[in-house]
Amino acid sequence: MGKPQNITLKEAAGLIQDGQQITFGGFTIWRRPMAFVYELIRQGKRNLHLLEVNGGTHSEILIGAGCVSIWESCWSGHELYGKLGEMVADRHVNGGMIVEDYSHGHMVARILAGAYGLPFFPSAQSLGTDLLNPEFDSLGRAGLRDGSHPKIPRKKYEFAPDPFYDRGELLLLPAANPDWAIFYASQVGEEGTVRVNVQTYADSEVIKAADKVIVLAEEIVPESYLRLEPEKNIAAGYAINYLIKLPWAAHPTGSQGFYDVDADFIRTFYRASKSQETFDRWADEWIFDIPDHERYLQKLGIGRLENIRANPVLGYSTRQKRGTR
Amino acid sequence: MGKPQNITLKEAAGLIQDGQQITFGGFTIWRRPMAFVYELIRQGKRNLHLLEVNGGTHSEILIGAGCVSIWESCWSGHELYGKLGEMVADRHVNGGMIVEDYSHGHMVARILAGAYGLPFFPSAQSLGTDLLNPEFDSLGRAGLRDGSHPKIPRKKYEFAPDPFYDRGELLLLPAANPDWAIFYASQVGEEGTVRVNVQTYADSEVIKAADKVIVLAEEIVPESYLRLEPEKNIAAGYAINYLIKLPWAAHPTGSQGFYDVDADFIRTFYRASKSQETFDRWADEWIFDIPDHERYLQKLGIGRLENIRANPVLGYSTRQKRGTR
Amino acid sequence: MALNKLSVAAYSYSPMDLLAVAAAREVRDGDIVFTGTGLPMLAIMLAQHTHAPNSVCIYEAGSIDGRPLDLPTSVGDARCAYQSAVISGLTETLYGQLHCGYVDLAFLGGAEIDKYGNVNTTVLGDYNNPLKRLTGSGGNPDVNSQARRTVYIMVQEKRRFKEQVDYITAPGWRIRKWPGGEYVHRREVYGKYFRGGVEAVISNMAVFRFDEEGVMYLDTVHPGFTVADVQAHCGFELNVSRVKGETLPPTQEEIDLLYQVIDREGIFLP
Amino acid sequence: MALNKLSVAAYSYSPMDLLAVAAAREVRDGDIVFTGTGLPMLAIMLAQHTHAPNSVCIYEAGSIDGRPLDLPTSVGDARCAYQSAVISGLTETLYGQLHCGYVDLAFLGGAEIDKYGNVNTTVLGDYNNPLKRLTGSGGNPDVNSQARRTVYIMVQEKRRFKEQVDYITAPGWRIRKWPGGEYVHRREVYGKYFRGGVEAVISNMAVFRFDEEGVMYLDTVHPGFTVADVQAHCGFELNVSRVKGETLPPTQEEIDLLYQVIDREGIFLP
């Protein structure tokens, strides 16, 4: 396998084919590979099957831009900065995208099964809910569970008995092995060793579960530095296929140790996401009218970036005003 | 749940009841709670059901002393210092203990299922081997798989189809939830936060899988120190029931960062373990004739301990002569 | 800390303050608490500062027993992790901690709740043709289904307290046994995996609990409201036969802790 | 590094040296190698120092791509972990790496091997009434069953190279399909989980490989031995029709690396 191949953002986004299944690293509004999402949109990708442990600002933008035809996850929104995932909501209510709902624990089980090369993972979480209502199996209703789609399991879930301790039935959740994981990393070594700061979310599992992995690195650092504390690293270089060095690549989502969530940016996007028309205007301004990541940063401006820059000891911004006091 | 209760070695060993199922932290000849094993033997425990991810010097000593009536694991020996587990071998050949063989991957699956509160864990490892031969199901042959023994599953393993991706059958391995985990930790905080140095083995899983957990800590350190780098810790204080501070408690097994394996000590034990008679003489000298851990250390002597003391930068001894050059 | 009723008159408090305080009082000392963003964070921190100093907080994104210097605004926030015992990820929190059985108490929220404590955060109307899509389940049903006790924090509105929710996102006391879908008691669905369930619902007007059949009843009414007020803001006929009286208002000490220590930036309590 | 046959005459080497070198040559550059204690460590390190600088080593106890300063004597040794890319534990190595499908090559050992490459490290005689108990399986069968290629390193003795092993600890090319127990090709047992199998066996006398049916054949004979010598130390009739010639002996550079760099303390190579 060897080391990851260095590549540009444009080249990397060009590798994703219409119709493929993709997933992302990060959590809600944290460590999302936003620069990559913008570039996917610029390149006009269509019919992506987005399967993710949870959604967030990145999903809303990608879905709003019409790139996604199937979304499997458990949640979309912007945390405090816009509670509803308006674009997921719009597609669910008005059509245009298949929404397949699982719980968070189910999605983690699916990615973990994929990471471990298992066909399923057991769970007793969320029994008795409408997540399990057979009438609400959206991919099944769409006729996509016939075994001819290699990334879509024949069933949404299965009940399994306990042959060992008579504990009764629990769920088996189908593995997820997306074609691509696109991943934002805090630091990557010269040979591809990956570190993420603070909470690790489902990041190590996402990398393993995907067939191929593209990493956007906030910074490239000496391998020997990362290898002094290997407890803090989540993947070796051989697990990564392509590597892009791109500072601020997670903006407006937060990257612990580098920058906080750009709350105002997300709030503004959230308001724009309440109709397709305002979304489209927002997308013109922040995606289509901007040729690349460097111009995006220029447009944001140094003041905005400095405001969210993390205090290096605490890992978060001590400048951004958060409340009323 | 709260913080662990401080307790003496004698009190802690006194909590283990004859016939209970126990497991240990550590790996082969590393980070084994040896002082506790000695004390179990001094207290004359009988009919223990030892279920462990892998065996080692500690298992051999406990089995040689007649404390164990069921051993479920995958391996016993002393690595380079005595390849065969003579006591497991003796009991398997001559009787006196039920030996239930799984593979290492199966045992990890069992402890992991136990840790996650699942009844089983799937695996495609070691298919086609005699580990799965129904005639070699020792607990089944002994009539112990009738559901009346809460720690013994009704089946050694089960085959399960893949309802999702048509990948065919794989194994389900039954969870293990021992009554007790006895665990040696490199460092424990004042409130019970647990750190182990370097490889983590199945340590975090063993703590979770057991009903109750006894930790022998090489040293107690300030919580705030361990919490500066929470990535390096494996359990919070609420996961631990009892805590014993006991330096050198893993001797003669190694504890990375503190001391290396005492190779000569294990070699000597290994030779003694080749017959019950020589084992008994060894046990008199090193267990029964020694009232407590302090006298054990005195008997070892400062020269021996200094020889294996770890270089604090490298984590292993640079004094112990290892080869011929 | 003894609650001092006599101090009440001397200061004012907002409905949010009372919600936070009432939720905090559900924490027992030593509880391992699984908590989401917002008001639940205030509640667990207030409990830790008052009667439950040994309670411990797990945040879904990976931090276990953190001791934040500054109030987090998301469970993914680095602020959660400061001086935590363990930093990990979702597999650890959802399976290694939650499924494993460590969690005593969960604080959750919802858009709709019904008289059995079933909560909806997914859709209004028919799932296959919804009137409105909400955020989706997140970890709400997982945490609720495996914590020993769950407390929901809700806005008291007629449209939110319903006879039956449109979609059972998180399981209350009377839920559906799949694949058939018949409604049965939670105990019957969870079997050996049953550990407890929804213990209380705290709204801006009252505290609710559940009887032996898993039906919601009114427990206490917040100061300034009457039983009739609560019934008027509830979409089903409420069992008011067990009302114990008034919800204990916040003490000055609690208010001071909330405004001067826990949320001193004025994020959730402006 | 080009192997230089001409340098052979100028120095001597032991059977262990040749074993280590022959094993090292099975490593392809870029391979992810799962390795146990002892000779396999010498082999992977030698390969990394010579023709396979981009190969990577995973040790079962938890270290991934370590760069030891000093030769480890156990996979649990802190020496394994020095400058590793990731430090983890058994769940990660056995499921996150091995079951996940990252592992290209495994080096393993065994007490007995049969003509199908089945290996026994458990018992001699009947499992339920054994003549001798060995160490047990350890991770041997797991690693063998999921690496794309496995190389066994064995002592060449008639009693160790058997027509059929007493107990199949680790799966070769013709194994038992449970629950029935009928002997079938490995491919049939593993189905979609099939990734490969035993590729070579290296003893102190020869290198063996497997034909399309999964039957062992003699590939090369170490210098100083004849085909007849090997057959005399093999408990079953050996297919010698494919013998390619002599095993390439170690070069001076390889010997120097083994004695002066990799095992400079003389642990495995006294």
Contact A118 B118 (CB under 8 A): no
pLDDT of residue B57: 98
- Residues of B numbered 269-308 whose beta carbons fall under 8 angstroms of chain D's beta carbons: which are they? none
Which of B276-285, C4-13, C100-109, C216-225 is predicted least confidently?
C4-13
Which position among C60, C112, C199, C254 bears the catalytic label? C60
Which of C256, C229, C224, C248 lies closest to C240, judged by CA? C229
pLDDT of residue C8 exceeding 70, the answer is: no
pLDDT of residue A1: 54
CATH of B5-162+172-245, one of 3.40.1080.10, 2.60.120.260, 1.25.40.10, 1.10.274.10: 3.40.1080.10
Contact A324 C270 (CB under 8 A): yes
Nearest CA in chain C to A72: C136
Contact D32 A208 (CB under 8 A): no
What is the pLDDT confidence band of residue D115, given thresholds at 50, 70 and 90? very high
From B301's Cα to the closest Cα of chain C, the distance in A is 36
From D80's Cα to the closest Cα of chain B, the distance in A is 9
Q: Residue B13 corresponds to which tokens in the numbers above?
A: 């060993």
pLDDT of residue A3: 87
Q: Residue A60 corresponds to which tokens in the numbers above?
A: 């809303």
- From the candidates A152, A162, A164, A201, which should be mutated to test the interface with B, based on the most B CB atoms within 10 A? A164
Interface membership of B127 toward C (CB under 8 Å): no
Q: Which residues of A fall within a CB distance of 8 Å from B175?
A: 164-165
From C98's Cα to the closest Cα of chain B, the distance in A is 8
Ranges of each domain in chain A: 5-162+172-245
What is the pLDDT confidence band of residue B1, given thresholds at 50, 70 and 90? low
Which position among D60, D112, D199, D254 bears the catalytic label? D60
- From the candidates D65, D91, D97, which should be mutated to test the interface with A, based on the most A CB atoms within 10 A? D65
Contact C100 B237 (CB under 8 A): no
Q: Which residues of C fall within a CB distance of 8 Å from A261?
A: 73-74
pLDDT of residue C137: 97
Interface membership of A224 toward D (CB under 8 Å): yes
Interface residues of C toward B, Cβ cutoff 8 Å, are: 30, 32, 54, 56, 63-65, 67, 81, 83-87, 95-96, 99-102, 104
Distance from chain centroid for Cα B235:
17
Query: What mean pLDDT, rounded, does chain D reach?
Result: 95
pLDDT of residue C47 exceeding 80, the answer is: yes
- Among the partner residues D67, D84, D99, nearest to A116 by beta-carbon distance: D99
pLDDT of residue D3 exceeding 70, the answer is: no
pLDDT of residue C11 exceeding 80, the answer is: no
Known active-site residue D60:
yes
Contact D76 B108 (CB under 8 A): no
Q: What percentage of chain D exceeds 90 in pLDDT?
A: 94
Q: Which residues of A fall within a CB distance of 8 Å from B122?
A: 118-122
Interface membership of B234 toward C (CB under 8 Å): yes
Q: Which residues of A fall within a CB distance of 8 Å from D67?
A: 227
- Cβ-contact D53, D132 below 8 angstroms: no
Give mean pLDDT, residues D256-268: 96
For residues C195 and C144, give the distance between their C-alpha atoms in angstroms, rounded to a whole number.
Answer: 10
What is the pLDDT confidence band of residue D5, given thresholds at 50, 70 and 90? very low
From B50's Cα to the closest Cα of chain C, the distance in A is 22
- Touching D (3+ Cβ pairs <8 A), the chains are A, B
Contact C90 A104 (CB under 8 A): yes
Q: Which residues of A fall within a CB distance of 8 Å from C139?
A: 74, 103-105
pLDDT of residue D217 exceeding 80, the answer is: yes
Q: Which residues of A fall within a CB distance of 8 Å from C264?
A: 325
Interface membership of A116 toward C (CB under 8 Å): no
Contact B119 A167 (CB under 8 A): yes
Contact A122 B117 (CB under 8 A): no
pLDDT of residue B47: 98
Nearest CA in chain A to C79: A316
pLDDT of residue A191: 96
Nearest CA in chain A to B156: A164
Interface membership of A222 toward D (CB under 8 Å): no
Q: Which residues of B fall within a CB distance of 8 Å from D141?
A: 103, 105, 125-126, 129, 131
**Mode of pairing for the β-strands spanning D32-35 and D105-109:** parallel
pLDDT tens digits along B49-97: 999 999 999 999 999 999 999 999 999 999 999 989 999 999 999 999 9
Contact B167 A231 (CB under 8 A): no
Contact B165 A155 (CB under 8 A): no
Residue in the block written with tokens 């106890």: D61
- Among the partner residues B208, B223, B226, nearest to C96 by beta-carbon distance: B208
CB-defined contacts A:C, below 8 A: 237
Contact B104 D138 (CB under 8 A): yes
pLDDT of residue C3: 38
- Cβ-contact B221, B229 below 8 angstroms: no
Ordered domains of chain D (ranges, CATH):
15-262 (3.40.1080.10)
From A168's Cα to the closest Cα of chain B, the distance in A is 9
Nearest CA in chain A to C71: A322
Nearest CA in chain B to C97: B116
* DSSP label at residue D73: S
Nearest CA in chain A to D92: A116
pLDDT of residue D143: 98
Give mean pLDDT, residues B131-154: 98
Q: Which residues of C fall within a CB distance of 8 Å from A157?
A: none
Cβ neighbour number for residue B310 with a 10 Å cutoff: 21
3-state secondary structure chain A: CCCCEECCHHHHHHHCCCCCEEEECCECCECCCHHHHHHHHHCCCCCEEEECCCCCHHHHHHHHCCCEEEEEECCCCCHHHCCCCHHHHHHHHHCCCEEEECCHHHHHHHHHHHHCCCCEEEECCCCCCHHHCHHHCHHHHCCCCCCCCCCCCCCCCEEECCCCCCCCCEEEEECCCCCEEEEEEEEEECCCCEECCCCCECHHHHHHHCCEEEEEEEEEECHHHHCCCHHHEEECHHHCCEEEECCCCCCCCEECCCECCCHHHHHHHHHHCCCHHHHHHHHHHHHHCCCCHHHHHHHHCHHHHHHHECCCCCCCCCCCCCCCC
pLDDT of residue B213: 98
CB-defined contacts A:B, below 8 A: 78
Give mean pLDDT, residues C4-24: 76
Residue in the block written with tokens 């590549």: A7
pLDDT of residue D4 exceeding 70, the answer is: no
From C56's Cα to the closest Cα of chain B, the distance in A is 8
Query: What mean pLDDT, rounded, does chain C reach?
Result: 95
pLDDT tens digits along B174-197: 999 999 999 999 999 999 999 999
Nearest CA in chain B to C91: B116
pLDDT of residue C7 exceeding 60, the answer is: no
* DSSP label at residue C147: S
Q: What percentage of chain C exceeds 90 in pLDDT?
A: 94
- Cβ-contact B195, B226 below 8 angstroms: yes
Residues of chain A where predicted confidence (pLDDT) is lower than 70: 1
For residues C270 and D184, give the distance between their C-alpha atoms in angstroms, rounded to a whole number.
Answer: 72
Nearest CA in chain A to D103: A1
For residues B81 and D74, give the distance between their C-alpha atoms in angstroms, rounded to a whole number.
Answer: 10
pLDDT of residue B83: 87
pLDDT of residue D2: 35
Nearest CA in chain B to C103: B1
For residues A102 and A51, give the distance between their C-alpha atoms in angstroms, rounded to a whole number.
Answer: 11
pLDDT of residue A297: 98
